[in-house]
Amino acid sequence: MRKKPLNYVKLAFPSRSANESLARSAAAAFVSQLDPTLEELSDVRTAVSEAVTNAVVHAYPEKIGTVEMILRLFEGGVIEVVVRDKGCGIEDVPKALEPTYTTGGADRSGMGFTIMESFMGSLSVRSKPGKGTTVRMRKVINRVR
């Protein structure tokens, strides 16, 4: 059974690259309630940027769709970030999780999921072709210093 969050926020926005900074700023503002270090704040912002960029670039390659971001705070300083779309989905999730794999062309590095996991600590990706993708990341903030 999942525990209830202590606090949460849910945002939905068009899959326009201009909204990547909105998502980063919203995540930073939400995480700030835990008095994170600058490094922790930067980690969350970077991971959110990667997740939202993936949705903008890959989920809706031919049209503008909706990206949803849910931020949750759980006991123990656990932050959960969920970025979800209803775009084209990922054909082969294990392959997509491999470093340097990309379907985005020569200008994409294929390091998005690797960056998300390394900056957040945990990452799960669920996707169905034609139905969309859900990226769930967790990080513990404000550990004993």
Among residues 19, 20, 40, 50, which one is catalytic? 50
Q: Is 50 a catalytic residue?
A: yes
The full 3-state SS of the chain, as one line of letters, equals CCCCCCEEEEEEEECCCCHHHHHHHHHHHHHHHHCCCHHHHHHHHHHHHHHHHHHHHHHCCCCCCEEEEEEEEEHHHEEEEEEEECCCCCCCHHHHCCCCCCCCCCCCCCCHHHHHHHHHCEEEEEEECCCEEEEEEEEECCCCC
Among residues 24, 68, 80, 108, which one is catalytic? 108
Among residues 54, 72, 84, 136, which one is catalytic? 54
Catalytic site positions = 50, 54, 108
